[in-house]
């Protein structure tokens, strides 16, 4: 689960753990999940630092998950940020940083997930990539223009990725 510090990411980690399943929770500041790390054994919860814009860290997280649990069944690609500001008033560095996280970060995780499911998981085990987007990708909203744009780009990427994975890889890609 990327972006597991708050919101959907945190809730997903908690639901997985409550159901007795294994979770790998990734976030920029792992100490945010100290309460969960104290409550669940390392055999059930692995908390790792991750900046989704750092390709080396993304690959490392997948390897650490494999080293700890042997395989990955589902990647819940949730990391993202919102930016509430008029388009004209947004500094380009801030807009680019948002696109780097919400689009390029999600792309980096997605491509590594597909590679991992195909090459690292047991043969034909595959996996599922769940891409967390937003209804704002369908209809932009004032003050959320760059956020909406980043999610629209991610939706398009995810649609194409789902069409490009071969059926015999047993990889499911869904946009939520």
Which residues have a catalytic role annotated? 133, 147, 151
Sign, CA dihedral 133-101-118-64, equals negative
User: CA-CA distance, 115 to 156, in Å (whole number)?
Assistant: 19
78: left (phi over 0), alpha (psi -120 to 50) or beta: alpha
| Number of residues in the chain | 176
Place of tokens 């932009």: 140
Say how many C-beta atoms besides its own lie within 10 A of residue 73's C-beta.
13
């Amino acid at each position: 689960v990327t972006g597991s510090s708050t919101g959907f990411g945190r809730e997903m980690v908690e639901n997985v753990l409550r159901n007795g399943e294994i979770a790998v929770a990734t976030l920029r500041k792992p100490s945010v999940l100290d309460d969960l790390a104290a409550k669940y054994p390392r055999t059930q919860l692995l908390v790792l630092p991750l900046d989704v814009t750092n390709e080396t860290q993304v690959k490392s997280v997948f390897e650490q998950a494999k080293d700890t649990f042997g395989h990955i069944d589902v990647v819940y690609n949730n990391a993202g940020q919102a930016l509430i500001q008029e388009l004209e008033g947004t500094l380009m560095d801030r807009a680019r940083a948002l696109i780097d996280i919400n689009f390029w970060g999600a792309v980096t995780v997605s491509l590594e997930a597909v590679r991992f499911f195909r090459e690292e998981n047991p043969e034909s085990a595959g996996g599922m990539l769940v891409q967390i987007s937003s209804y704002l990708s369908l209809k932009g909203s004032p003050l959320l223009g760059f956020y909406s744009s980043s999610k629209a780009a991610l939706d398009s990427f995810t649609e194409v990725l789902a069409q490009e994975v071969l059926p015999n890889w047993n990889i499911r890609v869904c946009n939520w």
